[in-house]
Structure 1
Amino acid sequence: MPIRVTVYGENIHDQKHPVVQANYPGGMHTVIANALNRDSEIKASTVTLQEPEHGLTEQKLAETDVLFWWGHVGHHEVQDAVVERIAEAVWSGMGAVFLHSAHFSKPFKRLMGTPCNLKWRNNHHLGTPDRERIWQTSRNHPIAAGLPEYFELEGEEMYGEPFGVPEPLETVFISWFSGGEVFRSGLTYKHGAGNIFYFRPGDEVFPTYQDANIQRVLLNAAKWAYNPSPRLSREVTLNAPCCNELIPEARFAAGKEATK
């Protein structure tokens, strides 16, 4: 059975910005899903902000193994009930991959519990965008599989440290920019049974998600974030009885002779 990926796209720039439309025919979410679907182990579908419940109903999340999220100017429009639904799904075992400006999305901030702030610079309108060099810092990590030691994007928005997120389990990539800044651009987390990956590149005015190395990262991330185990339950056993194996110790602690 293939890994079921749902790609959430904000779909605002995609409808209004000619540069974005030229970079991503059909929308950024469509290009990302199509790239993932080239692998027979992945079955990717898309949802958008404009759909009822943003397309992320209880049933849709139950049928999603890994959720990809790209958002920018519409973070405030995401319903809080859907955010809680996503957080619950991640805790119970759904994987999540947050892309670029999704660092400020409601689901990511809910899961991180921190401001998720950073510094940024975008010189696209000046015709002098930053060049980004993405270095592997965990060369045996599955998300870095099949990639060179580093690769470059000729134009991107700059993100710079400090990045207001919790200390990750692993830093898979670090980015250097032609302006001199560096940024932890590939971070892994574990929340409950859910695997989380944050990946920095992907400003909408650049064709970043058309890049072969970037698409390799996305594919690797989908497979890494996938948890094949059944979803965890929220059920709690109240006033649980002691295990039988602990009874002798309990009697001894009460001053009675332990049984042999």
Structure 2
Amino acid sequence: MASVTVWNEFVHEREHDAVEEMYPHGIHETIADALAERGHETRTATLQEDEHGLTSDVLDETDVLFWWGHTAHDEVDDAVVERVCDRVHEGMGFVALHSGHFSRPFKRLMGTPCSLTWRENEERERLWAIHPEHPIVDGIENPVVVPEAETYGEPFAVPEPDELVFTSWFEGGEVFRSGCCYRRGLGRVFYFRPGHETHPIYHDETIQQILANAAEWASENADTPADLDTENVTEPPESAYRD
């Protein structure tokens, strides 16, 4: 099992009563508890901590970093963004959750705007596993039904996924690539869409199992050609990234 750090900006739960009622100890604690119940070793970190709780020592002990952010993306320090991305290239897994598509680490790892269309509503979502043999969907019934969800829609400005695991359909007709797998350096990256803060998404046992599966999958290093010299890799210039 993996050593997982669950990061959350921890803003909505402290400022909005409805979110605090849904996640009284924070989204990060709910996710961490669910992963721990399924055998993973977990810790949490938040925006408000020194170095956002993501010191070099913490990341060195982290196999997979989960990231939930929404309204405070720009408050994440440059040095922390660089540290996280460096660790992914070195082999740490990274799981971006819901509005974490706009997080600075994810955008830097993708090298694209990561923009999309959205509507804040309460429509049913059907999350279809279109890669049923993938480890992330192990033991998951198809489709996963989310009774109330914020709607995301295409176009989703990310690179073509190495593997597309989930596609969502919403009552309003939108479709969206909701489970995208990437390899960055030696690290594995997974984007998972469900998780709006005013809905009980992370209390759902099926969603929790998907996250646990994702932690296990992302904890393994990406396949690397035997002749790739990972000790001497030239990084692209900072201007190549679109934060």
Q: Same fold (TM over 0.5)?
A: yes
| 1:149 paired residue among 142, 154, 172 | 142
Which residue pairs with 2:10 in the alignment? 11
Alignment of 1:53 with 2:46, yes or no, is no
Which residue pairs with 2:97 in the alignment? 99
Alignment of 1:203 with 2:203, yes or no, is no
Report the 3-state secondary structure (helix = DSSP H, G, I; strand = E; otherwise coil) of the residue aligned with 1:157: strand
State the TM-score, normalizing by the size of structure 1: 0.85
What is the CA distance between 1:19 and its match in structure 2? 1.1
Report the 3-state secondary structure (helix = DSSP H, G, I; strand = E; otherwise coil) of the residue aligned with 1:190: strand
Identify unmatched segments of 5+ residues in structure 1. 124-128, 238-260
What is the CA distance between 1:235 and its match in structure 2? 3.9
Q: For this pair of structures, how many residues does the alignment match? A: 228
Q: Distance in 1 between matches of 2:212 and 2:115?
A: 27
Q: Distance in 2 between matches of 1:179 and 1:172?
A: 22
8 A Cα contact 1:122 1:130, kept in partner: no
Larger Cα-atom Rg: 1
Deviations 1:131-170 (A, max 9, x none): 1110010000000011111021111100000100000011
What is the CA distance between 1:234 and its match in structure 2? 6.5
What is the CA distance between 1:233 and its match in structure 2? 9.4
Deviations 1:218-246 (A, max 9, x none): 000000001269xx997439xxxxxxxxx
Q: Distance in 1 between matches of 2:198 and 2:141?
A: 25
Report the 3-state secondary structure (helix = DSSP H, G, I; strand = E; otherwise coil) of the residue aligned with 1:90: helix
8 A Cα contact 2:186 2:221, kept in partner: no
| 1:236 paired residue among 232, 238, 242 | 232
State the TM-score, normalizing by the size of structure 2: 0.91
Instruction: Sort the Cα spacing of 1:111 and 1:228 in 2 relative to 1 into closer, same or farther, 3 A.
Output: closer
8 A Cα contact 1:5 1:44, kept in partner: yes
Q: Distance in 2 between matches of 1:203 and 1:184?
A: 16
Alpha carbon RMSD of aligned pairs, Å? 1.6
Which residue pairs with 2:240 in the alignment? none
Q: Distance in 2 between matches of 1:228 and 1:91?
A: 10
Q: Distance in 2 between matches of 1:55 and 1:61?
A: 9
Which residue pairs with 1:116 in the alignment? 114
Q: Distance in 2 between matches of 1:228 and 1:8?
A: 21
